[in-house]
Chain A
Amino acid sequence: MSGPLFANALVSGLLLAGFYAAVSVGISIAFGMLDVVNIAHPAFIILGSYAASIANASMGADPIVTAVALSPAFFALGLLLYRFYHATFERRGREPLRGLAFFFGILFVTEVALILAFGVDYRSVTARYIGTTWRLGTVDLPLRLFVPFVVSVAMTLSLQVFLSRTFFGRAVLAVGQDQLALQLMGVDPVRIKQIAFGISIATAGVAGALLVIIQPVQPSLGREYIGLVFAIPVLGGMGSIAGTLAGAAILGVATSFTATFFGPSWAPAVSFGLLLFALAFRPSGLFGR
């Protein structure tokens, strides 16, 4: 194994890990804290990619600007979706597996709707930084990966600060632990969960814009991310943002090394394989409580 190859694989793995954190932090919130198994999360990521790509093609808007501008819309979408989910499944105490089937259906419907509206062609964006690569000695630092890395880490860290420092954030953490206790404190758990789910979907929208900077996107790409978005929170210990960053780092580096040394066609097996392994042997995560 040559040194520069190793260093390049490591750096691109870490850059990828930053992006992975953005992709999976929403599931850390929805699945880890709120106990809502939103298996349709990747579908909202792809929706974000399409929004960024359309705005880029029609107005030349920067994908990251679009993502920030559209995040209120994604937030509202999340609010509505949670309201509906709560009214039809959670409140009636129906078994969570029906909720799972519901989100599976949403994933499938969104994917097919995108195919019907835009076809199966790959969509991409153009921005000045996409073709640029900085060189640090023998290590390449493509801005195509570096810009999403910076945005994603900034988003994840500010979520961490928000959740641990504000009253609302602590209420979100509490809702996952004991809803009744929260109610006794005079907080409405449903309202808290609704807003937190909105935030989760908003992160999916931003992650979608980052995804379309990194690679061209087509509707069925979303399902490849199902393993990833669940593997990272499970690896990192459910419902911990710091754990999500650690899980993303592991997966990013593992994927990058697999792609470098065994070929890119093996890369998808890494996230799903690690997920299976984590589920079977360490369901509480590497850093779980």
Chain B
Amino acid sequence: MKTSSFTAIALCTALLVAGTTSALVTNDYFFSASYTVLQFVVLATAWNILGGFTGYVNFGSAAFFALGAYSSIVLDKLFEAPITLSILSGTAVAALVGLGMGYLTLRLRGVFFAIATLAFAEVLFTFVVNWDYVGGARGAYVVLQGRPPLGFRSFVQFLFAIMALMAAGAVAIARFVQTSTLGLGLAAIRDDEVAAECSGVPTLRLKLVSTTVSGGLMGMAGATFPYFLSYVEPHGVFSLSYAVNSIAMPLIGGMYDWAGPVIGALLLGGLQQVLQVNVSADWNLFLVGALLVVFVTIAPHGIMGWTFRRGRRARPT
């Protein structure tokens, strides 16, 4: 399928789902839970563009998510910016930082890069905690006022529709990256960076594209987060569970295909919503960690690895 038709279908599906559920479902909890699951679809897809396609592990997903969230808070404090502007600026800020992270790959590979992303997240966290304008350690309030736009019954329905569109967009971008020559280049970098460089793959340029897109999409997912919760504090936004989830979901779904993180995020995200309501928040985090360990040990190619073991999409270790 061509990229343009896939993108059109994905966006139309998102609109259709958002439209019909808004008309039929009245329970706001449904939208809040679905928003969270879709947010993980975006995060996992974004992580996978760098982690799965290019082979650079990013432990700092929470930092990019927080960049998006805090740029929305700054804009809201400055002039109560409209939500579309917040999303655009959150994406742009995180993409710029992603570009910077791309230059880091010049010097750091493999394990050292992964540790550097973790360090970056902690440094950023310390800065936010000490930045009084955005509330410091106390956190900040962002309250949507007036009536929900476009005839939505509540703001959470409206945010769910936005997140559905963003998830569809993120998946379409990931699919485009994978199926284009860009994806081939990234796969070459993942399998052997030196060999790729020697074969004429412009490794730096491709890695920069990969880190920028990956970072930008994470920031996009974070940009609507303050509107969703109304209250944001650093410990919540920088929570290690974002980093763990955005690694666990692609690993469980399968890292070499755009569909892997989507499957992983829907399964694991949905399961967590169920557990959170029926058991407890701590147990659902335990489950994510345990599933990460189990899958990385016994099924390194995730669910997609089982499905396509004999198919043309099967890939060697």
Interface residues, chain A, with chain B CB atoms under 8 Å away:
37, 39, 88, 92, 94-98, 100-102, 104-106, 108-109, 112-113, 115-116, 220, 223-224, 226-227, 230-231, 263, 265-266, 268-269, 272-273, 275-276, 279-280, 283
- Contact status of A105 and B292, CB under 8 A, knowing A112-B286, A116-B283, A223-B240: yes
- Contact status of A283 and B107, CB under 8 A, knowing A100-B57, A265-B129: yes
Cβ B293 vs Cβ A105 within 8 A: yes
Q: Tell me, yes or no, whether B114 is within 8 Å of chain A by CB.
A: yes
**Among all A-B residue pairs, the 10 with the closest Cβ atoms:** A108-B289, A269-B126, A105-B292, A105-B293, A109-B289, A272-B122, A272-B119, A112-B286, A275-B119, A276-B119
Q: Tell me, yes or no, whether B137 is within 8 Å of chain A by CB.
A: yes
Q: Tell me, yes or no, whether B271 is within 8 Å of chain A by CB.
A: no
CB contacts under 8 Å to A, within B230-278, are 240, 244, 247-248, 251
Cβ A109 vs Cβ B293 within 8 A: yes
The interface residues of chain B, by DSSP majority, are classed as: helix
Cβ B126 vs Cβ A268 within 8 A: yes
**21 examples of A-B residue contacts, CB within 8 angstroms:** A94-B300, A100-B114, A101-B247, A101-B292, A105-B244, A105-B290, A105-B292, A106-B289, A112-B289, A227-B122, A230-B115, A265-B126, A272-B120, A273-B119, A275-B116, A275-B119, A279-B107, A279-B112, A279-B115, A283-B107, A283-B108
In the assembly, what is the distance between CA of A279 and CA of B117, in Å?
11
8 extra A-B contacts, CB within 8 A, seeds A92-B317, A112-B289, A220-B240? A105-B292, A109-B286, A224-B122, A265-B126, A268-B122, A275-B116, A276-B123, A279-B112
Cβ A115 vs Cβ B110 within 8 A: no
**B side interface size, CB within 8 A:** 41
Cβ A88 vs Cβ B123 within 8 A: no
Cβ B57 vs Cβ A115 within 8 A: no
In the assembly, what is the distance between CA of A115 and CA of B59, in Å?
22
Least Cβ distance of B278 to chain A in Å? Answer: 16
Cβ A102 vs Cβ B293 within 8 A: yes
Cβ A104 vs Cβ B283 within 8 A: no
Q: Given the complex, which residues of B lie within 8 Å of A108, measured CB to CB? A: 240, 244, 285, 288-289, 292
Q: Given the complex, which residues of A lie within 8 Å of B286, measured CB to CB? A: 109, 112-113, 116
Least Cβ distance of B101 to chain A in Å? Answer: 11
Interface residues, chain B, with chain A CB atoms under 8 Å away:
55, 57, 59, 104, 107-108, 110-112, 114-116, 118-120, 122-123, 125-127, 129-130, 137, 240, 244, 247-248, 251, 282-283, 285-286, 288-290, 292-293, 296-297, 300, 317
Question: Which of A113, A227, A283 is the one whose CB lies under 8 Å from B119?
Answer: A227
The interface residues of chain A, by DSSP majority, are classed as: helix
Cβ A104 vs Cβ B292 within 8 A: yes
Query: Which of A39, A96, A102, A108: most chain B CB closer than 10 A?
Result: A108
Cβ B297 vs Cβ A88 within 8 A: yes
- Contact status of A97 and B57, CB under 8 A, knowing A105-B296, A109-B290: yes
In the assembly, what is the distance between CA of A276 and CA of B123, in Å?
9
In the assembly, what is the distance between CA of A169 and CA of B292, in Å?
35
- Contact status of A227 and B118, CB under 8 A, knowing A101-B296, A109-B289: yes
Q: Given the complex, which residues of B lie within 8 Å of A97, measured CB to CB? A: 55, 57, 110-111, 114
- Contact status of A276 and B244, CB under 8 A, knowing A109-B290, A112-B289, A116-B282: no
In the assembly, what is the distance between CA of A109 and CA of B285, in Å?
8
In the assembly, what is the distance between CA of A269 and CA of B129, in Å?
11
In the assembly, what is the distance between CA of A116 and CA of B290, in Å?
14
Least Cβ distance of B46 to chain A in Å? Answer: 17
